[in-house]
Amino acid sequence: MSSAYPHPIIAREGWPFLAVSVLAAFAVGAIAGWGWSAPLWLWTLFVLQFFRDPARPVPGGPKDVLSPADGRIVAIQKTRDPYVDREALKISVFMNVFNVHSNRSPVDGEVKGRWYHAGSFLNAALDKASLENERNAVWLRTPLGQDVTCVQVAGLIARRILCYAKEGDRLARGQRYGFIRFGSRVDVYLPPGARAKVTIGDKVSAASTILAELE
């Protein structure tokens, strides 16, 4: 997997949607008049903002855990990591349709495992969505031997989880590795000794907000 992703303003996942939106708006405008195409141009603006993919600075050091997504913190709790089967600190980020939906690696690490689970499409802000909704988990092991699990969770209207990381890949902190379309959530399971640097309700940005510090 490439260690760097070019940041072309609009995420590559949005190019087909943007092309269809622009062509439809032009077609309706040319046939029926530009006033009739106004709703389609508004939809095109929504597509532009949804699929924006800005480059981000990567702060902190190797023990700092970065946010994998833009959004709001909805959970910070001690729990059990169901993927690596260990006690963990879970921090959850909820994304609404106005957030950037590009997902970034929270730590430097090797992908030790990846699991996909089909499921429901509950409101991703609900805690039970972590275990009941469609989801994709990536298990990372840092150079210091610590395990971090990052889980993309589909939401109420999200219908596509995209993950480009494969077992054996090495991801850098802040590296783009996936995308979730139309509202969702990302859970991060950390070693139990990790110290949270955010509180519930905080707004965070992928790759540029520090969620926690590892021991």
Q: Which top CATH class is 64-213?
A: mainly beta
Give the chain's end-to-end CA distance (angstroms, integer): 28
**Residue numbers in the chain where pLDDT is lower than 50:** 1-3
Residue position matching structure tokens 């303003």: 9
* Known catalytic membership, residue 184: yes
Q: How far apart are CA 159 and CA 13, in angstroms?
A: 13
Say what the pLDDT of residue 132 is: 74
* Cβ neighbours for 81, distance < 8 A, ≥ 6 positions apart: 87, 88, 90, 147, 149, 189
Q: How far apart are CA 179 and CA 201, in angstroms?
A: 23
Say what the pLDDT of residue 139 is: 98
Spatial strand order in the sheet of 195-196: 64-66, 210-213, 195-196
Say what the pLDDT of residue 1 is: 40
Tokens of 157: 């209207």
184-190 vs 86-95, strand pairing mode: antiparallel
pTM: 0.85
Q: In 3D, which of 25, 105, 97 has the Cα closest to residue 58?
A: 105
Q: Catalytic one among 2, 184, 205, 208?
A: 184
